[in-house]
Structure 1
């Protein structure tokens, strides 16, 4: 099988080697290849999108690659899931369906008077970020009435769709919980905590990873979120935070999430088992 990565990465891939090893224990050879390299993708019965952490900078080309590749071979996650998950607008859809999501103001590209729309929300401290991005790239935590906030908002709106959320203080205090599922089955969970004085939980900003046992409420919400995906997922990470005393969805990561395969002894093996099953399905289809 092929494990898809990126040619230009914001940080080194910390875990694909764990998956390669777990697959090898099952007698499966996995090649790690950039999505935009010249490959005969049809030669692989299974192509797994893993760490193409440059996709958001080339979104149209990446989505076109996913469509082409899914016509040649068995692609996971499916191209329909990848397209749906590539724009954070899926959160708007989930909220409309009653899923608990962090409150969000959506501002479309080139929209008029974005500052006035933000002011009308009455929020104090906010996070402004592009609707297509990864790893908090392009995000700004700021007071809603700060001129820097308006400048950042207008800059982002000129380039694409934007989402603005009230700053969820529990992130700075307790972090963000991630639940990882393989084939729709819960595997493991972790808690990501930001560095002192920061709110970004990613390790490239100093965030740290800690063991976590999810609550019943967290499991229930995560599994409800997965039910809303347009197709079944072979892998997914559901990121939750606490807001107003209950867990709410921050993001569903179903394209290229870090899956924290080193967090538990069985994590990589769990993923390898799901991919081995997908490989059998693909080979049976011929």
Structure 2
């Protein structure tokens, strides 16, 4: 009987809607499942055949500690996704790397600690003269925390937002706000071992000039969605561009539509994404099958 840890954190347990259906699907296929907190020092990680990152949603506030933990337990258990994937994906500088491989992304510029906030904003607005609004977010962040949408003319507020993140030693990502998201929302395409499983629609999250959420993550409006051919094509291109020998066990590719209607990558979630099992019948069972295949592969290795 394979022993599998589904890894979360105490503050996320009440709202992680994926945990229960995945636990049930794994148990139905013969696994012994434990739901554990990543920062629980009493856990013996060597007792698990597989440790699956699911809702470690406080990691952005504890990134050094989290990455040190993930690297350490990788020597004790099979971590999914692997540490090298987690280390790469927790910093949104990966967008620049994917853009160099001809992946269509939301136009992105990074501001680094030590840079001047006002100068960086001015340069970005000059580079994007047609964008009426911009999005400012930390390069290491999740759940829309510390993320805000600013009108082009509100440079004082936008500069202060950038400066606040820089002063905290955080890199900053600047992107134009693409208006089509207001009507079409985002499409999240979920893949298991590189195979498309299902898609959902996220309604628009950011309101004009509304401050960042103070919760663990911003409230989302989720509905099932049929992925279009061009979305599936871009998602496949994104996964093919990853700098790893093997495709990740789970991946969520978040896309929105550019002004010309073509899909572009907003974010690639390989660390702890919600997978929205409740919106796609059979998806928890598909993921459970994927995870048990990794258990068998690890055992044979």
Give me the TM-score of the superposition, normalised by structure 2. 0.89
Contact kept? 1:56, 1:134, Cα under 8 Å? yes
Aligned to 2:280: 264
1:234·1:274 contact (CA, 8 Å) conserved in 2? yes
Alignment size in residue pairs: 284
Q: What is the match of residue 240 of structure 1?
A: 255
1:77 to 68, 77, 81: 81
2:224 alignment counterpart: 211
Q: Counterparts of 2:121 and 2:225 in 1: how far apart (Å)? A: 39
Structure 2 residue corresponding to 1:276, chosen from 267, 273, 292: 292
Corresponding residue to 2:53 among 46, 49, 56 = 49
Partners of 2:241 and 2:67 in 1: CA distance: 20
Structure 1 match to 2:238: 225
Structure 2: distance between partners of 1:119 and 1:10: 40
Q: Secondary structure at the match of 1:57?
A: helix
SS in structure 2 opposite 1:262? helix
Q: Distance in 1 between matches of 2:242 and 2:69?
A: 20
1:90 and 2:94 matched: yes
1:187 aligns with 2:197: yes
Equivalent residue, structure 1, for 2:166: 157
Deviation of the 1:194 alpha carbon: 3.0
CA RMSD of aligned residues (A): 2.1
The yes-or-no answer on 1:125 pairing with 2:133 is yes
> 2:176 is matched with which residue?
166
Cα distance, 1:110 vs structure 2: 2.0
TM-score between the two structures when normalised by the length of structure 1: 0.93
Residues 189 and 212 in structure 1, CA contact (< 8 A), matched pair in contact too: yes
Aligned partners of 1:118 and 1:144 also within 8 Å: no
Q: Are the structure 2 counterparts of residues 283 and 28 from structure 1 closer, same or farther at C-alpha, using a change threshold of 3 Å? A: same
User: Could you list the runs of 4 or more consecutive aligned residues of structure 1 that deviate by over 4 angstroms after TM superposition?
Assistant: 195-200, 202-206
Q: Kindly state the Cα deviation for residue 120 of structure 1 after the two structures are TM-superposed.
A: 2.6
Whole-Å Cα distance in 1 between the matches of residues 192 and 216 of structure 2? Answer: 23
Q: Name structure 2 gaps, 5 residues minimum.
A: none
2:131 is the counterpart of 1:116: no
Pairwise CA distance, 1:63? 0.9
CA distance in 2, matches of 1:97, 1:37: 39
2:17 is equivalent to residue 2 of structure 1: no
Question: 1:270–1:162: structure 2 CA closer, same or farther, 3 Å change rule?
Answer: same
Structure 1 residues 117 and 195, CA gap change in structure 2 (3 angstroms) = closer
> What are the Cα deviations for residues 170-190 of structure 1, in whole angstroms up to 9, with x where unaligned?
111110000000111110011
Match of 1:60 among 64, 67, 71: 64
CA distance in structure 2 between the partners assigned to 1:57 and 1:195 by the alignment: 21
Cα drift, residue 204 of structure 1: 5.8
Q: 1:135-161, CA deviations, whole angstroms, 9 ceiling, x for partnerless residues? A: 111111012331111111111122210
Q: Distance between the aligned counterparts of 1:260 and 1:21, measured in 2?
A: 15
| Counterpart Cα distance in 2 of 1:70 and 1:204 | 27
- Which segment drifts farther, 167-176 or 191-200? 191-200
